[in-house]
Structure 1
Amino acid sequence: MNLLRLLILIAVGVLIINFTDSFAQKKKLTYKQVFEGSRDMRAMMMMSRPQGWADEENYLEMKTDPSKQGSRPILMKTNVITGVSEQYIDNSGIELPEGFSIERPSSSLENNYYLFYQKNNLYYFSRSDNLFLQITKDAAEEKVYKLSPDGKKVAYVKNNNLFVYNVEKEIEMQLTNDGTDLIYNGWASWVYMEEILGRATQYSAYWWSPKSDMITFLRFDDSPVPEFYITKADGQHGELEKQRYPKAGDPNPFVKLGIANVDNGKVVWADFDEKADHYIAWPEWTKENQLTVQWMNRGQNNIIIYTIDTNSGHKKEIYNEKQSEWVEWFEDLYYIKSNKGFILRTNADGFSHLYFYDMNGKLKKRLTDGRWEVTGINYVDEKNEKIFFMGWKSNSTERHLFSVKLDGNEFKQLTSTPGTHSCSVSPGGKYFIDTYSNITTPSRTELYSIDGKLIRTLSERPNQADEFELARVEMFTIPSGDGYELPAVWYLPADFDQNKKYAVIFNEYGGPNAPSVRNSYPFGMSSHYYAQNGIISISVDHRGTGHFGKKGVALMHRNLGKWEMNDYIAAVKWLKTKSFIDTTKIGITGGSYGGYVTALALTQGADYFTHGIAEFGVMDWALYDNVYTERYMDTPSENPEGYKNGSVFTYVDKYKGKMLVTHGTIDDNVHMQNSIQLIFELQKLNKDFDMQLYPNQRHGIGFPLSQHATKERVKFWFKHLLGRELDVNKD
């Protein structure tokens, strides 16, 4: 018996020694590695990814010549089966005037037509014709320039008018003539760019027809929209930037839809009432040159798709949807050739699914169904009548590739590895490239046949778990107390000890249908760094972030702030049942909407959250733009109680913790006004807080000021959660 006990003790000792030795061999993360991007953190570096498809059997990727040190990457096409690469485009022999490079165009089309923009002028080059032209020769700035689909024309906005240049005739034609400082043709009003068309459009508000014979465009009149003044502190006297920005309840720009014939310059206007209080957006051409457009009422609970007669401007309704809360734009609407119909993604039944309609608006087939969501159409193989799409089926924290036939049959999930996938399907639907990660696996890119057979791994980020002392990452759910299981992920110290006490940082965004909890590998390593220093990082998604379909998101209607705080507080209560949580150090941080929920947590939720960093957040919904705000809250006059209950200012008297507030001084999205009004309310109550303003920064802090902002964040957490000062050279 004594011998057995001795053997057990020796065995346990060996295990402890081996574990300790193994643990000791791992490197500590340093501040400079994590936040300043040291090269030895290979997992933080960008991973090479394919650039798309050259054809059905070859994908595109950027490669450098290993025999030439310091050579620039060039575009290569690589055979799917053999893996053999060759240069995709041979630019040798191309001679352009000095100062122009075929490798650095401003825009290009099919690797044959190129645009260059230099010194406020546009230049055109055709490889097939070996033709180089200077298109414009004046001092005016040309904006949002685009080649026509046939490469023979160039459209652009100048002085807020729309122009087209015919390359073959070498003639510039002005399509509109009423552009002013308030009237824009083909150039988006700010709120349309930000909330409807998207920042990726860079204010572009015109669209070429497939046959290159017409351009449809939106014309905006910003004269009804109130001005907002943004102050720049530059120079001796500063500068004043005027922005037409409609806040909640404010008038919108007038908008109408034009169709311009680029051969004769004639413009036809679609028969919408320009003065009506509505939204017109997302014009789209079918493959047969038929024009469609989406219309939405000011209340954003009714959306209609119209076809537009390009000769008369008459409109015809083909789809009409109403919801009791709000509707959303159809951003991935797909029109099938030969006017067979269109594929539409909507959450009208409570979950986002695909539907197939004919061009008269008759439902031909519901393609997907169930208590899960389609998150986007990936690719449509019209020849084989198959739709590829992304979504989640059994786990809302993941994203996978699926396919279904146009008749609703042969539904398949094509990716199987747990995690978050991003896929590119080949033009003929035989292969797909899959980039994915999960909480323990850094990103990797793999090539598959469409039946799910792995062909080969194309690239991967090294897993640093064997080299560095990384956190123990776990995904789980937290009960809300009223029936919801809230997705959560936390990063525990590698040497986690239940007998110790740990501070906590909530990392949140929290906006409607905008989850923070994903089964994916973080791009940065900050949560691992904090865990190494004894802080648990956690993200929890409330019921309105999309995991429970439109049913969950719809609870936020007229109630922004309510369920966010309800569920975050439920998470804190759950944490407080754990003996290893230091309940005096519960932090929260986020930017934009995350800045809002952080400030709300430190005020309305002050009995639960003790520390926070609120970055460029909305503090009162009356101060934010009308399109976003009214979608969820209606107008202030329609929902005064909702605005009051959702305002941080309503609860500032409850604030008792420590908060750092940050904002860019020229933020044109969430105005610095929000943070200034917040600190004014805190000052009137003699409350303590910290603040950092970042001069000439918009929505988010850019380099090099971002380095300072990062350091201030880490310093804040070290000081208040660890009780010591950060040393960037040692920590």
Structure 2
Amino acid sequence: MRYTKQLLLICFITSLFTTAQSNKISLEDIWSGAFRTERMDALHSMNNGQQYSVLNFDRSSGSTTIDVYDYKTLNKERTLVNSANLDPIKYFTDYTFSDDESQILLATEVESIFRRSTLGKYYVYNTKTKQLELVAEEKIQEPTFSPDGTKLAYGYNNNLFVKDLETGNTQQITFDGEKNKIINGITDWVYEEEFGFVRAFEWNSGSNKIAFVRFDETDVPEFSMDVYGQDLYQTQHVFKYPKAGEANAIVSLHIFDMKAATTAEVKVNKSYTDFYIPRIEWTNNPDVLSAQYMNRHQDELDLWFVNAESNTASLVLEDRDKAYVDVTDNLTFLEDDSFIWTSEKDGFNHIYHYDKTGKLISQITKGNWEVTNYYGFDAKNKTIFYQSTENGSINRDVYSIKLNGRDKTRLSMNTGTNSAAFSADFSYFINTFSSATTAPVYTLNNAKTGKQIKLIKVNTELQNKLKGYLMSEKEFSTIAINGNELNMWMIKPANFDASKSYPLFMFQYSGPGSQSVSNTWNSANDYWYQYLAQKGYIIACVDGRGTGFKGAEFKKVTQKELGKYEVEDQIAAAKKLGTEPYIDASRIGIWGWSYGGFMSSNALFKGNDVFKMAIAVAPVTSWRFYDSIYTERYMTTPQENPSGYDENSPINHVDKLKGDFLLIHGTGDDNVHVQNTMRMVEALIQADKQFEWMIYPDKNHGIYGGNTRLHLYKKMTNFIDKTLGDKL
């Protein structure tokens, strides 16, 4: 009850913002980090279930520490590692414990490769001996302790290596790795980006076997990007990138036996052609590996159990969908090797329990709402913890439920976005709560009842700071469009006068399963929208058909026709909003980034009687240019579905352009290649259409670094003022 009162007080304070505000937000404020929130970094629950560790950085000394705190008291109990005491390391940026927590892997000199992949120098710190050991002289990828803590496996130069931490010897276990040809145990670009993981190797529980996926990229077409840099001559970044309909890497599954020093390829009893292996995970049995195989259309997902001793495989579960099956990390093996699985097979994403042969025991959660995160299983109390949209699709709450589907308990107490980090024994959880009016609040809660035990961290400084700024409420509602009630938010100028007429600037992303309308705290873009509201704009966001968390049917209606229904909804929403007396229907604009840039381009071209302007940042301009896994999941291949690709690609609708168009891209975008923009530019030129564009040299899909973000948002703001703000 005390926590609820505290949050009510915070919400009351935020409701008073408009009476005390005087300062105006500036672009410099936003991109200098003036509104940055405090958070808890790299939290790890200790094995005893009573303590947790956090990575702390001392700005004055430039050193990092791993500090251990008590859950009940929140007091710091001890410091496990301090880089100030480690001669070779000035600071480290991440850490990983061995299973018994006697050793800690420290990450230093980390550099990005792509979105998720990195290279770094790693050290193993022994908490008992206080000794520090460098894993390898070279920068390596994905170092991972064996369960018994005696070894460390990692990737280097497309091969896998194992270091014996007792002898110091390193063993190379694959030898055919070669850049742009063969990768062992580390994912290729498209798996990393679209299946969301980098480490494609796994230790078994006995620490004597390693399963890994091998990628043969030989026949995958190469993509090259010029890197302009600072030298007299530019260089090129060349990598394998399978576009829609083109050759994928040929994948195969292998198991290395540490004792015999031999590798065996896994064969399953089914003829697959052009398939994916998006997940591998050992069961509790050290000789049984689970592997998920998926066809190229991604509408069939098979779960196999592989016996590593006999190298035989059994098909345990088949998940099918007329559109596509989502790949998740929710597979959890219980002590008897029955398993937890999530699926949309009843129309909403829910939790299921199967026995070890794949026979369904029960559907654990049910209802017209979505399970959005699976936190784990408490074996002692036979309880599952999860996050869901049961309290409305724009909100998130934390729940517990028994394995038999009974005794469901809502553990989070406040309406907004709640997420949880559980202690190792599931006795506590740290709840992170935020809403559109409340900056992130961290509390310690009882995992059985949800009752708050202690308040850990509140962003009081930021909340107090914002009292002095001219802030507008983010108003949530729904709008009836094309037979659906679509979620929407709107921000009006703080001095809004319903008798006046304001320009409308719309934002959306709209990609399959995405969500832009959510009851959560401000992102950097939200401060930009506040800045625009200060200048006299109304900003609105509508989640149309194809977005997520409202059931599979709503999400998958766009199948094979990306850019059709989503664009129709944005155009219809703009038309409807334009009938409001306080909105000037002659001054409506739209913008988006990536998929959102694809959408804003289409909306301006197809809705040329509605939208006066659009900004497209890093847009896909034809799905023929984008990667195989993402695109074919929703569109099948261009060879099978040419009309679906071409009829809704903005590059084919440039002749309809009437309004003002700003096109922006980074040349170093390895995800949505600048080729998309170059082809759009050429099409616009040949259609004799005037437009504006901006290229950011060597910047990736995020377009950031140095002064870049500030420059980008000044560019977009100036364009908005020029095209929509003429009467302000």
On the 8 A contact 1:588/1:613 being kept in 2, the answer is yes
Matches for 1:617-656 after TM superposition, within 5 Å: 617-656=619-658
1:89 is paired with a residue of what secondary structure? strand
Aligned partner of 1:191: which letter?
V
How far, CA to CA, are the matches of 1:133 and 1:77 in structure 2?
A: 22
Equivalent residue number for residue 49 of structure 2: 56
Matches for 1:142-541 after TM superposition, within 5 Å: 142-181=140-179, 182-196=181-195, 198=196, 201=197, 203-234=198-229, 235-272=231-268, 276-289=273-286, 290-339=288-337, 341-450=338-447, 451-462=449-460, 463=463, 466-482=467-483, 484-524=484-524, 525-541=527-543
How far, CA to CA, are the matches of 1:334 and 1:631 in structure 2?
A: 25
Equivalent residue number for residue 709 of structure 1: 712
How far, CA to CA, are the matches of 1:102 and 1:594 in structure 2?
A: 38
Q: Structure 1 pair 158/547, CA: closer, same or farther in 2 (3 Å)?
A: closer
Matches for 1:120-131 after TM superposition, within 5 Å: 124-131=124-131
How far, CA to CA, are the matches of 1:120 and 1:619 in structure 2?
A: 35
**C-alpha displacement of 1:23:** 5.8
Equivalent residue number for residue 683 of structure 1: 685
2:614 is paired with a residue of what secondary structure? strand
TM-score, structure 1 as length reference: 0.89
On the 8 A contact 1:488/1:517 being kept in 2, the answer is yes
How far, CA to CA, are the matches of 1:448 and 1:108 in structure 2?
A: 24
**C-alpha displacement of 1:607:** 1.7
Aligned partner of 2:501: which letter?
K
**C-alpha displacement of 1:155:** 1.5
**C-alpha displacement of 1:533:** 1.2
On the 8 A contact 2:65/2:82 being kept in 1, the answer is no
On the 8 A contact 1:35/1:710 being kept in 2, the answer is no
Q: Structure 1 pair 45/590, CA: closer, same or farther in 2 (3 Å)?
A: same
Match of residue 114, structure 1, among 91, 99, 105: 105
Q: Structure 1 pair 102/678, CA: closer, same or farther in 2 (3 Å)?
A: closer
How far, CA to CA, are the matches of 1:333 and 1:438 in structure 2?
A: 30
1:141-187 Cα deviation digits (max 9, x unpaired): 53333232222212222332212122223322221222223011112
Aligned partner of 2:359: which letter?
K
1:364-396 Cα deviation digits (max 9, x unpaired): 111011111101201211111100001111410
**C-alpha displacement of 1:580:** 0.8
Equivalent residue number for residue 4 of structure 1: none
**C-alpha displacement of 1:697:** 1.3
On the 8 A contact 2:57/2:65 being kept in 1, the answer is yes
**C-alpha displacement of 1:670:** 0.6
Aligned partner of 1:265: which letter?
A
Question: Are 1:660 and 2:662 counterparts?
Answer: yes
**C-alpha displacement of 1:589:** 1.3
- Count matched residues: 690
Bigger Rg over Cα? 1
Cα RMSD between the aligned structures?
A: 2.7
How far, CA to CA, are the matches of 1:318 and 1:433 in structure 2?
A: 35
How far, CA to CA, are the matches of 1:114 and 1:546 in structure 2?
A: 37
How far, CA to CA, are the matches of 1:609 and 1:104 in structure 2?
A: 46
1:40-68 Cα deviation digits (max 9, x unpaired): x4xx3334568243343334446689xx9
- Which runs of 5 or more structure 2 residues have no equivalent in the other structure? 1-15, 110-118
2:232 is paired with a residue of what secondary structure? coil
On the 8 A contact 1:509/1:594 being kept in 2, the answer is yes
1:338 is paired with a residue of what secondary structure? coil
How far, CA to CA, are the matches of 2:320 and 2:97 in structure 1?
A: 40
State the identity %: 32
Equivalent residue number for residue 46 of structure 1: 38
Question: Are 1:35 and 2:30 counterparts?
Answer: yes
How far, CA to CA, are the matches of 2:188 and 2:381 in structure 1?
A: 41
1:403 is paired with a residue of what secondary structure? strand
On the 8 A contact 1:589/1:598 being kept in 2, the answer is yes
How far, CA to CA, are the matches of 2:215 and 2:88 in structure 1?
A: 37
How far, CA to CA, are the matches of 1:152 and 1:668 in structure 2?
A: 38
**C-alpha displacement of 1:33:** 5.2
How far, CA to CA, are the matches of 1:217 and 1:33 in structure 2?
A: 47
Equivalent residue number for residue 12 of structure 2: none
**C-alpha displacement of 1:497:** 0.5
- Which runs of 5 or more structure 1 residues have no equivalent in the other structure? 1-20, 726-731
Match of residue 553, structure 1, among 555, 561, 565: 555
Equivalent residue number for residue 116 of structure 2: none
How far, CA to CA, are the matches of 2:485 and 2:570 in structure 1?
A: 12
Match of residue 696, structure 1, among 673, 680, 698: 698
How far, CA to CA, are the matches of 2:182 and 2:33 in structure 1?
A: 48
Equivalent residue number for residue 5 of structure 1: none
Judge which range, 281-290 or 118-127, deviates more.
Answer: 118-127
How far, CA to CA, are the matches of 1:267 and 1:392 in structure 2?
A: 45
Aligned partner of 1:665: which letter?
T
2:336 is paired with a residue of what secondary structure? helix
Q: Structure 1 pair 412/208, CA: closer, same or farther in 2 (3 Å)?
A: same
Aligned partner of 1:715: which letter?
N
Question: Are 1:565 and 2:567 counterparts?
Answer: yes
Aligned partner of 2:51: which letter?
N
On the 8 A contact 1:106/1:117 being kept in 2, the answer is no
On the 8 A contact 1:114/1:126 being kept in 2, the answer is no
